Amino acid sequence: MTGRSLRQKLFVAALVVPAFVVLFGVVVYPFFYNLVISFSNMSLRHIRDWRLIGLGQYIRVFTEPSQPNFYSVFVKTVIWTAVNIFFHVLIGVFLALVLNQKEIRGKAFFRALLVLPWAVPQLIVALTWRGMFNYEYGAINLILTQWFGLPAVQWLKQPFEAFCAVIITNVWLGFPFMMVIALGALQSIPRELYEAADMDGASWHHKLRHITVPLIRPVMVPAITLGTIWTFNNLNIVWLVSNAGEPSDQTHLLVSFVYKAAFNFYRYGYGAALSIVIFFILLAFSLTFMRQSKAAENVYG
Amino acid sequence: MGEPGRTRSGRSALRILASYAVLGVFSLIALFPVLQIVTISLRPADRLLSTSLEVIPKDASLANYIALFTERPFFLWLANSTLVALVVTFTGVALASTCGYAFSRYAFTGKRIGLLGLLVTQMFPATMLLLPMYIMLVMLHLINTYLGIVIMYSATALPFCIWQMKGYYDTIPTSLEEAGRIDGCNQFQAFQRIILPLAAPALVITALFSFMTAWTEYVVAAQILQDTDMWTLPLGLKSFESNMGSEWGLYGAASVIVTIPVVILFLSLSRWLVSGLTLGSVKG
A283–B120 CB contact, under 8 Å: yes
Residue in chain A nearest B35 by alpha carbon: A128
Residues A78-253, CATH architecture:
Orthogonal Bundle (1.10)
In this predicted model, which residue has the larger pLDDT, B275 or A264? Answer: A264
Neighboring chain B residues of A91 at a CB cutoff of 8 Å? 26
The number of C-beta contacts closer than 8 angstroms across A and B is 256
A252 with A73: CB under 8 angstroms? yes
pLDDT higher than threshold 50 for residue A80 = yes
Neighboring chain A residues of B29 at a CB cutoff of 8 Å? 172
Number of H helices, E strands in chain A: 14, 0
Lowest mean pLDDT among A151-160, A205-214, B1-10, B125-134: B1-10
* Residue range A12-55, pLDDT digits in tens: 999 999 999 999 999 999 999 999 999 999 888 887 788 889 89
B122–A229 CB contact, under 8 Å: yes
Rounded Cα distance, B167 and B161, in Å? 10
Domain spans of chain A, in order of start: 35-65+267-301, 78-253
Rounded Cα distance, B33 and B14, in Å? 30
Torsion over CA of A7, A13, A16 and A17, rounded to 10 degrees? -150
* Residue range B199-252, pLDDT digits in tens: 988 898 889 888 888 898 999 999 999 888 899 999 999 999 887 677 888 999
**Would you place residue B164 in the very low, low, confident or very high pLDDT band (cuts 50, 70, 90)?**
confident
Establish if B237 touches chain A: CB-CB under 8 angstroms: yes
Contacts of A67 (CB under 8 A, 6+ apart): A249
Rounded Cα distance, A33 and B130, in Å? 11
Closest partner residue to B125 among A94, A110, A278, by Cβ? A278
Q: For position B12, what pLDDT does the model report?
A: 83
* Residue range A193-245, pLDDT digits in tens: 888 998 888 888 888 888 999 988 888 888 888 899 889 999 989 999 998 88
pLDDT higher than threshold 60 for residue B259 = yes
**Would you place residue B2 in the very low, low, confident or very high pLDDT band (cuts 50, 70, 90)?**
very low
CATH code of domain B68-278? 1.10.3720.10
DSSP string, B208-262: HHHHHHHHH--HHHHHH--SGGG--HHHHHHHHHHTHHHHHHHHHHHHHHHHHHH
Task: Find the mean pLDDT for residues B86-92.
Answer: 93
Q: For position B280, what pLDDT does the model report?
A: 42
Give Dmax (Cα) for chain A. 83
A37–B131 CB contact, under 8 Å: yes
Establish if A121 touches chain B: CB-CB under 8 angstroms: yes
Rounded Cα distance, A75 and A70, in Å? 9
Q: For position B52, what pLDDT does the model report?
A: 75
B103 with B162: CB under 8 angstroms? yes
* Residue range B40-87, pLDDT digits in tens: 899 887 666 777 777 777 778 888 899 889 889 999 999 999 999 999
A93 with A178: CB under 8 angstroms? yes
Q: For position A4, what pLDDT does the model report?
A: 67
Q: For position A51, what pLDDT does the model report?
A: 85
**A residues 151-170 near B, CB within 8 Å?**
none
Q: For position A38, what pLDDT does the model report?
A: 93
Neighboring chain B residues of A123 at a CB cutoff of 8 Å? 216-218, 234, 237-238
A282–B123 CB contact, under 8 Å: yes
Q: For position B256, what pLDDT does the model report?
A: 94
Lowest mean pLDDT among A271-275, A290-294, B103-107: A290-294
Task: Please state whether the peptide bond connecting residue A247 to the residue before it is cis, i.e. omega within 30 degrees of 0.
Answer: yes
DSSP string, A186-235: HHTS-HHHHHHHHHTT--HHHHIIIIIHHHHHHHHHHHHHHHHHHHHT-H
Q: For position A295, what pLDDT does the model report?
A: 62
Task: Find the mean pLDDT for residues A272-278.
Answer: 94
Q: For position A1, what pLDDT does the model report?
A: 47
* Residue range A83-131, pLDDT digits in tens: 999 999 999 999 999 999 888 899 889 999 999 999 999 999 999 999 8
Q: What is the mean pLDDT of chain A?
A: 89
Closest partner residue to A104 among B19, B238, B262, by Cβ? B19
Which amino acid makes up residue A245? G
Environment class of A243 (CB within 10 Å of its CB; exposed 0-12, middle 13-18, buried 19+): middle
Q: How far away is chain A from the Cα of B129, in angstroms, using its nearest Cα?
A: 6
Q: For position B48, what pLDDT does the model report?
A: 67
Q: How far away is chain B from the Cα of A83, in angstroms, using its nearest Cα?
A: 19
Report which DSSP code applies to A151: P
**Would you place residue B283 in the very low, low, confident or very high pLDDT band (cuts 50, 70, 90)?**
very low
The length of chain B in residues reads 284
A236–B219 CB contact, under 8 Å: yes
pLDDT higher than threshold 60 for residue B1 = no
Return the residue in A116, A156, A217 with the most chain B beta carbons within 10 A, the one to mutate for interface testing.
A116
B144 φ, ψ to 5°? 70, 30
CA A119, A121, A126, A131 dihedral sign is negative
Task: Find the mean pLDDT for residues A169-191.
Answer: 90
pLDDT higher than threshold 90 for residue A2 = no
Residue in chain B nearest A135 by alpha carbon: B51
A103–B16 CB contact, under 8 Å: yes
A275 with A34: CB under 8 angstroms? yes
Establish if A23 touches chain B: CB-CB under 8 angstroms: yes
In this predicted model, which residue has the larger pLDDT, A5 or A141? Answer: A141
Task: Find the mean pLDDT for residues B23-50.
Answer: 87
Beta bridge partners of B269: none
Percent of chain A with pLDDT over 90: 49
ipTM over 0.85? The verdict is: yes
A282–B95 CB contact, under 8 Å: no
Establish if A81 touches chain B: CB-CB under 8 angstroms: no
Establish if B189 touches chain A: CB-CB under 8 angstroms: no
pTM of the model: 0.88
Task: Find the mean pLDDT for residues B81-98.
Answer: 94
Q: For position B122, what pLDDT does the model report?
A: 85
Task: Find the mean pLDDT for residues B263-267.
Answer: 87
Neighboring chain A residues of B123 at a CB cutoff of 8 Å? 229, 233, 279, 282-283, 286
**Most confidently predicted of A109-113, B156-160, B270-274:** A109-113
Spell out the alpha helix ranges (H) of chain B: 4-42, 63-70, 74-105, 111-121, 126-139, 146-170, 175-182, 187-189, 196-198, 200-216, 219-224, 233-242, 244-268, 270-278
Rounded Cα distance, B142 and B171, in Å? 40
Beta bridge partners of A40: A52
CA B201, B207, B211, B214 dihedral sign is positive
Rounded Cα distance, B77 and B55, in Å? 28
